[in-house]
Amino acid sequence: MIEITEHGAVREIRLARPPVNALNLELIRRLDAAIADAARDAVGAIVLTGRPGVFSAGLDVAAIATLDAGGLGELVSSFFALQRRLAASPVPVVCAITGHCPAGGTVIALYCDRRMMAAGAFGIGLNEVQVGLFPGLRIFRVYARLIGEARAADLLGRGAMVAPDEARAIGLVDEVLPAAQVLPRALAFAAELAALPPLAYRRTRTLVRQPLVDLLDLPEQIDLQTWITAETRACMARVLKPATSGG
């Protein structure tokens, strides 16, 4: 589910859960552990990447549809723990977005230090409302931190996805490149970060990322008793139907 490749001072962490790197509980926990391991091993920087054509399709809708309240609580708490791990990581994380990046995939990217995305017919954004899910206050604020509150309110409210060039224009991603250049560029940028004077860089990065870390302390509005509703299950069933029926 996670593949690790060392590139000198840079550690590449690749999501590897075919076909679309959907985030189930095991993948979330393994990614959390991989970020923690990189900090423990004092690597210079991390590049987080996915499969060709898809970074991550977000939370595993098929798995969510089968979970009881206890399972949902475990999934949500683990996903929030991963977000906190990324936000507070002492190791910079560069996100190489290799293709489609909806919902939970975008959430992960939001917490990274820099985002490079593949050009092409791909989408990125927080489309939770499209499957009947409520994203919550923290994710809204983290989204707004990058693209501004008015634009975040508009896109989040509609569950809208945007193409790579628009994502670059609004500040959701930092660079858009041909697909074959995304990982090499991310690795090169990560190596630049790893080569900075470590004490000064670490202190400055902590300073500029503290407002992001503080957002994780906002009171959450997600109530697991009402997070998955009949409407949510109906929306998820429509999403899953083509995959299960072959239509």
Q: How far apart are CA 23 and CA 238, in angstroms?
A: 19
Q: How far apart are CA 3 and CA 7, in angstroms?
A: 13
Residue 160 has pLDDT above 60, yes or no: yes
pLDDT digits (tens, 9 = 90+) for 22-77: 999 999 999 999 999 999 999 999 999 999 999 999 999 888 878 787 888 899 88
For residue 124, being part of any structural domain is answered with yes
pLDDT band at 244 (very low <50, low <70, confident <90, very high): very low
For residue 238, being part of any structural domain is answered with no
For residue 96, being part of any structural domain is answered with yes
CATH of the domain at 49: 3.90.226.10
Predicted pLDDT at 223: 67
Q: Return the percentage of the chain with pLDDT > 90, whole number.
A: 77
For residue 67, being part of any structural domain is answered with yes
For residue 127, being part of any structural domain is answered with yes
Closest CA to 14 of 229, 203, 187, 230: 187
Set 3, 74, 128, 175: catalytic member: 128
pLDDT band at 245 (very low <50, low <70, confident <90, very high): very low
Angle of helix 69-88 relative to helix 198-215, nearest 10 degrees? 150
Q: Return the percentage of the chain with pLDDT > 70, whole number.
A: 92
Closest CA to 61 of 216, 242, 220, 222: 242
| 175 is known as an active-site residue | no
For residue 240, being part of any structural domain is answered with no
Q: Does residue 19 have a cis bond before it (omega within 30 degrees)?
A: yes
Domain count, the chain: 1
* 198-211 mean pLDDT: 96
Range of the domain at 153: 2-179
